[in-house]
Amino acid sequence: MSFFESFRIALRALTANKVRSALTMLGVIIGVAAVILLVAIGSGVQQEITGQIEGLGSNLLFVFPGNFSGGGGGGAGGPGVEIQKRFNMDDAQLVQRRLGAEAIVVPVVQGPAVLKSGNRTLRTTIAGANQAGDQVFNSTYVAGRHYSRSEYSSGARVVMLGATPSKELFPGQNPVGRELTVNGERFTVIAQLAAMGGTLSGDQDNQIYMPATTAQRLLGSRDLSSIIIKAIDPKKIDLIKAQTQQVLRPKFGEEFTVFTQEQTLGLLSSLLGTLTVMLAGIAGISLLVGGIGIMNIMLVSVSERTREIGIRKAVGARTHDILSQFVIEAVVLSVSGGVIGIALGWAGAAALTRFVPTQVTWWAVTLAFFFSAAVGIFFGVYPAWKASRLDPIEALRYE
């Protein structure tokens, strides 16, 4: 009997048992689609988190007052750390002088602010820095410019608006050149920044940026919140860290902490690791569920199919006629189910990007497809193989 004839027999058997064929295919579809979709969500989230951390800059050092190295290694600003001494502008200048052209040192002042423009009011956060601030804050300009060195030195009342203040105070308008009050003082808007979206470090859109000198005067403090150092050559980051510690130790002892980007990543690596394990788990469970679905429907139909094999053998089917029919049936169901599953999983992942970041990964597609296909083919063919070896009368009598 030709392959073509076997193919026709198999297709006829599949169309004669539409419900069984559909249920078997459904097992494959669910297995494949679930794995692709869940892994896509998982790796999408993972990539987004990694991207955000890397977006902070891979060559940055964050210097915070207080000793974070002992006591369980909590995150920056975590509870339980008592800050004795804070940095001021002189400390930042001292570090800059020691590092010279190797690095850009940015003093950072943060504090609360109330913005007013006309009858509109907004609570926000000030981020004060020097003229190199845009080297460490990842911001994109919609309009305007960064404040200059002279504006920094003189403590000029100029302000750059994040996306939220622009939208709230000057809806639908270009705020550059307009005036507003910050904590009661009159400022000129020199830039409008693009939206960055929520990130791990909070809402970076609801911020205003101004010279640190201006911010200190406005907040009535001579302290710095932190010092951010950008290494010109990322390879020298460890050396720069050591030099920074050397400079600050005489005055602060151990009461300060220098975080590298890697350490920040390290803080999140356990989270990412958990995420990866979770992904693998989800993929495994989806495959298991899909596989059991396929197995069930195949095994449930064994007795009916064994009788069918008995009938076919009684009227003259040879062992390989039976086997080729069942192999073709299983392959057709598994492959078409797999293809539909891939399409569904992919479409689902695309549809979900509106709510969560998703990324379809090739290993998930391949793994899901081949695993489900293998389960489908095995459980489709194995019982048939066993039945095809029985004497016809035993197959006919099978209960």
Partner 1 sequence: MVKTYMLDEIEVRALCGVDLQVCTGEMLAITGPSGSGKSTLMHIVGLLDRPTSGTVTIDGVDVSNMVPNELSAVRNRRIGFVFQSFNLLARTTAQSNVELPLIYAGVSGAERARRAREALQRVGLGDRLGHMPNQLSGGQQQRVAIARALVTEPSIVLADEPTGNLDSRSGIEVMAFLQELNAQGITIVLVTHDARVADHAQRVVEMMDGEIVADRCVANRIDAAVELETLGAVKGVGQ
Q: Which residues bind partner 1 (CB under 8 A)?
A: 1, 5, 9, 12, 16-17, 304, 307-308, 310-321, 391-394, 396
Cα–Cα nearest to 161, from 187, 135, 130, 184:
187
- Which CB atom, from 101 or from 315, has the smaller least distance to partner 1? 315
- Which CB atom, from 230 or from 313, has the smaller least distance to partner 1? 313
Other CB atoms within a 10 A radius of the CB of residue 131 amount to: 18
111 strand-pairing partners: 126
CB 392, min distance to partner 1, A: 4
In whole angstroms, give the CA distance from residue 190 to residue 263.
35
Contact 61, 260 (CB under 8 A): yes
- Which CB atom, from 1 or from 347, has the smaller least distance to partner 1? 1
- Which CB atom, from 54 or from 391, has the smaller least distance to partner 1? 391
- Which CB atom, from 257 or from 306, has the smaller least distance to partner 1? 306
Contact 45, 279 (CB under 8 A): no
CB 332, min distance to partner 1, A: 17
CB 313, min distance to partner 1, A: 6
- Which CB atom, from 181 or from 301, has the smaller least distance to partner 1? 301
CB 17, min distance to partner 1, A: 6
CB 398, min distance to partner 1, A: 12
Look up residue 208 and give its two tokens.
């205003």
List helix spans (H) across the chain: 3-16, 18-55, 89-99, 149-154, 163-169, 212-219, 237-252, 261-300, 302-314, 319-352, 362-388, 392-397
CB 5, min distance to partner 1, A: 7
In whole angstroms, give the CA distance from residue 123 to residue 17.
67
Neighbouring residues of 287: CB distance < 8 A, sequence distance ≥ 6? 31, 35, 367, 368, 371, 372
- Which CB atom, from 186 or from 320, has the smaller least distance to partner 1? 320
CB 358, min distance to partner 1, A: 41
In whole angstroms, give the CA distance from residue 384 to residue 90.
84
